[in-house]
């Protein structure tokens, strides 16, 4: 790769990361226009890397294009949520059962994650660490295809979970505490319970995610 190609790739990555952060932390709301010219001015780059970044984010499920080619922050509908929920429910309990022997041998990565979550200062950090926790379990399953499938959903999961966490925090201020409590229960199960019981507990945990949906306003 030439130096000019590397520079172009770096500019695209920077634009992608900036837009991704704004979407996931809620500064760019569902349905907001993502004008190439405005983003390009903020970054001090041409519109080309911005356009490439928007295409990348479209593949990740964070951006959608209109028929006229304008980019908007994706509006995830209740149907999108249901589809993500069904996939989590299929993948994560199975991963938990497969991961039990590995995590029982060492739960250090999950323990470090919980410690980092305790230190989190924003809902966005809690959301990212929450998904990191689940990704550690997927990786410990030893099934690379299972992890790959879950990873392909991660950006949309973070978008949804971030919205849910922000709304739940506004309502109860307990997002951090509830996340830590749930994850500590899961780690304890990995240490003491059978793979089947760990699978059952993870299924119950994911089903709890589903129960948050009715409380989420359509335009939150």
Helix, strand, coil percentages (3-state) for the chain, rounded to 5, are 75, 5, 20
- 96-145 pLDDT, tens digit per residue, is 999 999 999 999 999 999 999 999 988 889 999 999 999 999 999 999 99
Neighbouring-strand partners of residue 64: 72
The distance of Cα 191 from the centroid of its chain, to the nearest Å, equals 26
**22: phi then psi, degrees, rounded to nearest 5:** -65, -35
Structure confidence at residue 218 (pLDDT) = 52
pLDDT in tens, 183-196: 999 999 999 999 99
Q: Residue 4 burial (CB < 10 Å; 0-12/13-18/19+)?
A: exposed
Q: Which residue has the higher pLDDT, 123 or 55?
A: 55
| Cα→Cα distances 211→49, 57, 82, 143, Å | 40, 28, 11, 28
What lies within 8 Å, CB to CB, of 107 at 6+ separation is 187, 190, 191
> pLDDT higher for 5 or 31?
31
Residue pLDDT, tens place only, 199-218? 999 999 999 877 765 455 55
């Amino acid at each position: 790769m030439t130096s000019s190609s590397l520079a172009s790739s770096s500019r695209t990555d920077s634009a992608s990361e900036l837009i991704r952060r704004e979407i996931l932390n809620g500064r760019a709301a569902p349905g907001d226009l993502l004008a190439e010219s405005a983003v390009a001015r903020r970054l001090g780059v041409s519109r080309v890397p911005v356009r490439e970044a928007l295409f990348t984010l479209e593949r990740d499920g964070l951006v959608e294009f209109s028929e006229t080619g304008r980019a908007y922050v994706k509006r995830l509908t209740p149907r999108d949520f249901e589809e993500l929920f069904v996939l989590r429910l299929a993948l994560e309990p199975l991963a938990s059962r497969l991961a039990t022997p590995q995590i029982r041998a060492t739960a250090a990565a999950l323990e470090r994650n919980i410690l980092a979550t305790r230190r989190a200062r924003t809902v966005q950090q809690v959301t990212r660490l929450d998904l990191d926790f689940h990704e550690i379990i997927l990786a410990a399953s030893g099934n690379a295809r299972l992890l790959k499938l879950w990873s392909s959903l991660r950006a949309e999961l973070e978008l949804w979970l971030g919205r849910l966490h922000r709304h739940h925090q506004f309502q109860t201020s307990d997002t951090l505490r509830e996340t830590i409590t749930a994850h500590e229960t899961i780690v304890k199960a990995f240490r003491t319970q059978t793979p089947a019981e760990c699978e059952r507990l993870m299924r119950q945990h994911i089903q709890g995610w589903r129960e948050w949906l009715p409380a989420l306003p359509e335009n939150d």
